[in-house]
A and B are shown apart, each in its own frame.
Chain A
Amino acid sequence: MTEESRPHHEPIPEWDEIADEILEGCGYDPDLGKRMAEDAIKIANGELTEQEFHERYHEEVKAEFGTDDRPTKPEGFDD
């Protein structure tokens, strides 16, 4: 697709501008949610691996939710 033919769609507001509002009063750690959301987009961007993501948040997720059932768990990962 050429730059001219690319439709200039209305950009949806960047997630970080609205994340605070979304997570306010969610009943869980909003800061953890915001960091995880940011890093999940980094996985899609190819800036972070699923394994790094899983390991980075495993302890915090377990402490907050009592479980960590994210599908990013690497093979052989020790809970």
Chain B
Amino acid sequence: MGQAWNRVLTVGGDHVDTPEGSYPEDGDGGTLEMSYQPTACQHCENAPCVKVCPVNATFTREDGIVEIDYDKCIGCRYCMAACPYNARVFNWEDPQHVPEEGTGDVEERPQGVVEKCTFCSHRVEEGLDPSCVVNCPADARIFGDFDDENSTVSKYVAEYDTHQLLDDKGTDPKTYYIQGEMSPGRPWKGKELEEELDEEPTAEEPADVTGDESVSGAAANPTGGDD
């Protein structure tokens, strides 16, 4: 059913879903632990996928979201090879609109195009958090505007120990992973479906996308512990 835009990897083990550390010996000294790393498009500031696209189908929006124009995409897959995060998938299947309704009500993708996480731009444009943020049962994700230093996401990144994936590559992802014990907060807690909105939500601190240079996302990883 559909394609995985967000893969939940585990950290440190030999394979996905294996722990890092060692088993206890003689009932003592075990260091096993397993933590998780949700990995989707990182919405890089310096996105290699954007630079290689010969027809400008992959582009960076004014608000910083890296998006694909499926009408322009010719399916050459150069962007997939250029993405250091393996965040893109090729759509081999007939177009599907799954689900028909709900928080994941994203645009249908034709067969033969490349697709990826959109930061739920269809929701962000309505002032709503992305679907992964709303649906995460552990409230481990925070989405907001890094251009606003008072946004929740900016405060978290300023206060906590964070890292970006493959930060040595210079891609400068707009997704940060936060370490440490904390209670993640979200700027907007509404669960309304986009089609149910008849007016702008009254968010506590809405993600302001219009006129800003970047919309930013962050994934807090409370299972990461203090290591």
Contact = CB atoms under 8 A, between A and B. Distances in A.
Interface residues of B, number: 49
Contact of A23 (B77, B85, B86): B77
Contacts of B165: 9, 12
A72 B51 contact: yes
B163 interface: yes
Given A5-B227, A23-B77, A36-B78, A12 B85 contact: yes
B227 to A, nearest CB: 7
B26 to A, nearest CB: 27
Mostly helix, strand, loop or mixed at chain B's interface?
A: loop
A21 to B, nearest CB: 9
B53 interface: yes
B78 A41 contact: no
A18 B179 CA distance: 30
B76 A44 contact: no
Contact of B51 (A13, A15, A43, A45): A43
B203 interface: no
Contacts of B171: 41, 44
Contacts of A44: 44, 46-48, 169-172
A52 to B, nearest CB: 12
Q: Point out which of A14, A37, A71, A72 has the most chain B C-beta atoms below 10 A from its C-beta.
A: A37
B91 interface: no
B56 A7 contact: no
A39 to B, nearest CB: 8
Contacts, number: 128
Contacts of B48: 37, 40-41, 43-44
A37 B50 CA distance: 10
Given A10-B11, A45-B170, A70-B52, A1 B163 contact: yes
Given A7-B11, A44-B170, A22 B80 contact: yes
A9 to B, nearest CB: 5
Interface of B: 9-13, 16, 20, 35, 37, 39, 44, 46-56, 59, 74-78, 80-86, 161-163, 165-166, 169-172, 177, 179, 224, 226-227
Interface of A: 1, 5-15, 18-19, 22-23, 26-28, 32-34, 36-37, 40-41, 43-46, 50, 53, 61, 64-65, 67-72
14 contacts: A7-B11, A7-B163, A8-B20, A10-B13, A12-B39, A36-B82, A41-B84, A44-B46, A68-B54, A70-B51, A70-B53, A70-B56, A71-B51, A71-B56
